[in-house]
Structure 1
Amino acid sequence: MNEIGYGLLLPGGAAQLEHRDAARAVARLAVTAEDMGFDSAWVGDSLSRARVEPLTLLGAAAAMTERITLGTAALIPAFRHPVQAAATLATLDQLAAGRLIIGVGAGFPELSRPEFELVGVDYRTRFSQLDDTVALWRQLWSGRYEPFHGTVLHHDWLPEVPRPHRAGGPPIWSTGITPAALTRTGRRYDGWLPYPPDVNTYTTAWAAVRTAAQAAGRDETAITPALFVTVYIDDRRSTGRAALERYCAATYRMPLTTVETIQVMITGTAEEIAAQLDRYATAGARHILLRIAAVESADFATQLDRLGPLIADPAAGTTMPG
């Protein structure tokens, strides 16, 4: 089996914002993740829930770390002006010396509708808005400032923006899994970061991405297949399920029984979780982003300690890159 990279989602939600220095503490967790052997550290994005601003946080993390890749999981580009975001991300890529990955999405189904209304973006055209924004970023990062006319974005004049550390800009990963999103991923994106609860769905969807890439004349190996998975390690299934339930209520205001039909959420012993992750690795996943289902900071710290052996031990079912 090919080697697997592991990422950690940094806890930037409401429970971590209770103290005035919380953002600094969350940024320092990127250092902890680097020391533990994680390959990447990620931050989410939201307007409807209290959350640290992801790009600011990653700027701090870039200054504190040396090796670990930093990413967004997922940035909602519609929340920011696309030209300003292009400048911000290019600057962040410079600060990270090219260690940046931009996972992008169009929001959580229906829950994000009020957020789009708040920023004045039509929720119905969110996918076109996303693809246009990514295309505009890449044009600007390549030093081309001619007029841009996409499906929903139209600019007759564009300013210069900072050039990213990486030529052409950082890799951009898609998070969608609808048939249209899979086609767009194969044609336009550098990686794929979905969270399907059924490994067979992952297998079929990844095949669709590869087919779309081949049809577009792209090398499928240029696309990184990844997985976003929520985990809670506990020897007692009832305790683990209760933790997942609390997390879903706090994060989505939905019951676990609803969320787990949309996202992969795993609880059990470290060995049981490793076995589940190995099934996705067998299906093609090459980078596994772990989100700890802990609402409180102390619980997060305990769970992070339990994850250490899982990501470091090849016998757990996957192997870290050398």
Structure 2
Amino acid sequence: MQNDIRLGVLLPTGQAQWGEGTDPRELIPFALRAEELGYDSLFANDSLLTPRIETLTMLSALAAVTRRTALGTGALLPFLRRPVQAGHALASLDLLSGGRLLVAVGAGFPGRFGRPLYELSELPWADRFRRLDETVALWRRLWTADEPFSFRGDLLHLDDVPPSIRPHTPGGPPVWLGGATPAALARTGRLYDGWLPYPPDPADYRTGLTAAHAAAGEAGRGPEAITPALFVSVLVDDDPAEARARMDAYTRATYGLPLDELRQIQAVLTGPAPEVAAGLRRYLDVGARHLVLRLGGLTLKQQYDQLERIAVIRSLLH
């Protein structure tokens, strides 16, 4: 692969992806196999609405046993946690992993996967984006402070905040933003270190990245300040019809949506390895550089199978 292209995998931390009777501790050797196969990053997503291993707990378990792969949140929902405590946990995780942490964050989305989480967190849905930006600003201050400090935002007001343990990464781990609305693109350009969307059309990825770069330029930042990533669901099978049927079963179990509906809102690629590689190549051609792959498998055995099949695709992405 080209030196600037990275291939990551979303760990199957949700109980729906383990298969009945699976010991979730098997996720550790799964992650180690991914590292052995040459994957560049291991991501864990975040939710309270479906049973899953908590994001930072999963990555902390991997920090001690992996050596090379980046460890990413995809995407962390900061409103589920107290801001200062979350910042301290992230600093600790970056330190214990030797500076391998990537923090992709989101503010939640309308519908059953967004607003109910705010109700569980006892926070208002309104001003969620402002709260996210202020939380990240607080973290960055926390990660660099030498003395207690005060933080004054529109929503967060804190006094005498004690300094956190210093992250391994100077200034703290990079923070990426998920989302592709015009407002999210502007905020990515102005405030964040990377962009992790999942547009179903590569043309929309190109348009979004161009907008993020323009916003970065207006803020006095260069395009190199933003890592262009992509979140995409994949399932490799030599039989196109079988690949589609299996991914449909996966999306129904994971999202409660048929494949055709999910494909309207998210990037999804299925079929033989050359077809999936060609689909990924289309996103690389419009600027994506860090591909985070969700594997379409409803048992850990199926997840392993996809892990091995997709590793072979690396050679097709030149």
Range of TM-score over shorter length:
over 0.9
The match for 1:273 is 276
- Alpha carbons of 1:65 and 1:114: their partners in 2 closer, same or farther (altered >3 Å)? same
Question: Within the alignment, does 1:127 sit opposite 2:129 as a pair?
Answer: yes
> Given that residues 17 and 51 in structure 1 are in contact (C-alpha distance below 8 angstroms), is that contact kept between their aligned partners in structure 2?
no
| 1:28 shift after superposition | 2.6
What secondary structure sits across from 2:126 in the alignment? helix
The farther-off stretch of 272-281 and 13-22 is: 13-22
The match for 2:35 is 34
Task: Write the mapping of 1:33-182 to structure 2, written as runs, cut at 5 A.
Answer: 33-110=34-111, 111-143=113-145, 145-182=148-185
**Inter-partner Cα distance in structure 1 for 2:247 and 2:272:** 14
| 1:244 shift after superposition | 1.8
Question: Within the alignment, does 1:199 sit opposite 2:202 as a pair?
Answer: yes
- Alpha carbons of 1:222 and 1:11: their partners in 2 closer, same or farther (altered >3 Å)? same
1:61-82 Cα offsets, whole Å, 9 max, x none, are 0100111111011111110001
**Inter-partner Cα distance in structure 2 for 1:282 and 1:309:** 20
| 1:184 shift after superposition | 0.3
> RMSD of the TM alignment (CA)?
1.5
> Given that residues 295 and 307 in structure 2 are in contact (C-alpha distance below 8 angstroms), is that contact kept between their aligned partners in structure 1?
yes
The match for 1:219 is 222
Q: Which amino acid aligns with 1:6?
A: L
**How high is the TM-score relative to the length of structure 2?**
0.95
**Inter-partner Cα distance in structure 2 for 1:161 and 1:230:** 36
| 1:151 shift after superposition | 2.6
**Inter-partner Cα distance in structure 2 for 1:250 and 1:123:** 27
| 1:160 shift after superposition | 2.3
- Alpha carbons of 1:103 and 1:221: their partners in 2 closer, same or farther (altered >3 Å)? same
**Inter-partner Cα distance in structure 2 for 1:18 and 1:86:** 35
The farther-off stretch of 235-244 and 3-12 is: 235-244
1:162-209 Cα offsets, whole Å, 9 max, x none, are 111111100001111000000000001111111000010000000000
Identity over aligned pairs, percent: 48
What secondary structure sits across from 1:156 in the alignment? strand
Q: Which amino acid aligns with 1:50?
A: P
Q: Which amino acid aligns with 1:283?
A: V
> Given that residues 7 and 41 in structure 1 are in contact (C-alpha distance below 8 angstroms), is that contact kept between their aligned partners in structure 2?
yes
Question: Within the alignment, does 1:294 sit opposite 2:297 as a pair?
Answer: yes
The farther-off stretch of 234-243 and 50-59 is: 234-243
The farther-off stretch of 140-149 and 72-81 is: 140-149
| 1:124 shift after superposition | 2.1
Q: Which runs of 5 or more residues in structure 1 are unaligned?
A: none
What secondary structure sits across from 1:64 in the alignment? coil
The match for 2:191 is 188
The match for 1:7 is 8
**Inter-partner Cα distance in structure 2 for 1:297 and 1:308:** 16
1:229-253 Cα offsets, whole Å, 9 max, x none, are 1000112222112222122212211
**Inter-partner Cα distance in structure 1 for 2:231 and 2:110:** 17
What secondary structure sits across from 2:229 in the alignment? strand
Question: Within the alignment, does 1:254 sit opposite 2:257 as a pair?
Answer: yes
> Given that residues 198 and 267 in structure 2 are in contact (C-alpha distance below 8 angstroms), is that contact kept between their aligned partners in structure 1?
yes
**Inter-partner Cα distance in structure 2 for 1:19 and 1:170:** 36
- Alpha carbons of 1:18 and 1:115: their partners in 2 closer, same or farther (altered >3 Å)? farther
Q: Which amino acid aligns with 1:229?
A: V
Count of paired positions = 314
**Inter-partner Cα distance in structure 1 for 2:3 and 2:207:** 19
1:254-307 Cα offsets, whole Å, 9 max, x none, are 222221111001101110011111111010011111110111222111111211
**Inter-partner Cα distance in structure 2 for 1:185 and 1:210:** 9
**Inter-partner Cα distance in structure 2 for 1:125 and 1:209:** 21
> Given that residues 19 and 298 in structure 2 are in contact (C-alpha distance below 8 angstroms), is that contact kept between their aligned partners in structure 1?
no
| 1:21 shift after superposition | 4.0
